[in-house]
Homo-oligomer: A and B are copies of this chain.
């Protein structure tokens, strides 16, 4: 991942690949990889191109846009690691996994801050030399809490927010500050087992698989575009607390995979669905 990337989505029409690759050809860059997809239902065209060189992104975007239908979404991005903030509550498993990967430069990112509505994971963040900020949610209105959270995040200028088992619902006003740049993880039982203690509900139902879903956050709570879903098998010998542990293992796996896809600019949106160019 050290190539610039061009992301395009627009209404489909004949000759789009030819037109876009023509712009790249004239810009004298070399295509490293190129993936397209036309969604059969919406008749929308998607393309992700990795290429060599150090382009003027704004200019390249303008030139590509000029050969596309009106309303095209075009983004050219240099391969700079993204600035990531991780939001947490009390559970450590997803945070620990991301901090290890960050410490060993396995993420195409820089984790710039960890923010908690509880103060319990501070030692874990500080172990890995990542600043921890505490925006206490107790005895505060949601508005006051989010304002405090924004104030604390502001100096770190995060481009992407990862909700690593952050157990507070964020308001649409907060979410729209990181449009399609906020990632969440939760168990995959929704809407079956909504509310508290989902693993205990799943136990009562006698489920045979436990899953996790990573998705982009929109103002529709837990209904945003899905990036990764995976499951692991469980059986009757798993007491509720074992289901919780199994759930943690799959959440951690799914979140780090989804984050990699987002950080490498491999996720495009088609309405509320994702197009993943992996």
Contact = CB atoms under 8 A, between A and B. Distances in A.
Interface of A: 14-18, 21-22, 24-25, 30-41, 92-93, 96-97, 100, 104, 106, 127-128, 188, 190-192, 203-209, 211, 225-231, 233, 235-237, 239-240, 245, 249, 253, 270, 272-276, 278
Contacts of A14: 25, 30-31
Contacts of A270: 206, 236
Most buried by B among A17, A24, A233, A249: A17
27 contacts: A17-B17, A18-B18, A18-B21, A18-B22, A18-B25, A31-B38, A33-B37, A33-B38, A35-B36, A37-B236, A37-B237, A39-B236, A40-B239, A92-B100, A93-B100, A100-B100, A127-B127, A188-B209, A203-B273, A204-B273, A209-B211, A209-B229, A209-B230, A230-B233, A235-B276, A236-B273, A249-B253
A40 B2 CA distance: 14
A240 B42 CA distance: 13
A88 B88 CA distance: 31
Given A191-B192, A209-B229, 9 more contacts: A15-B21, A17-B21, A17-B34, A40-B239, A41-B203, A92-B104, A204-B272, A207-B226, A209-B211
A25 to B, nearest CB: 5
A222 B25 CA distance: 43
Contact of A253 (B22, B231, B253): B253
Contacts of A30: 14
A233 to B, nearest CB: 8
Contacts of A35: 35-36
Contacts of A206: 225-226, 270, 272-274
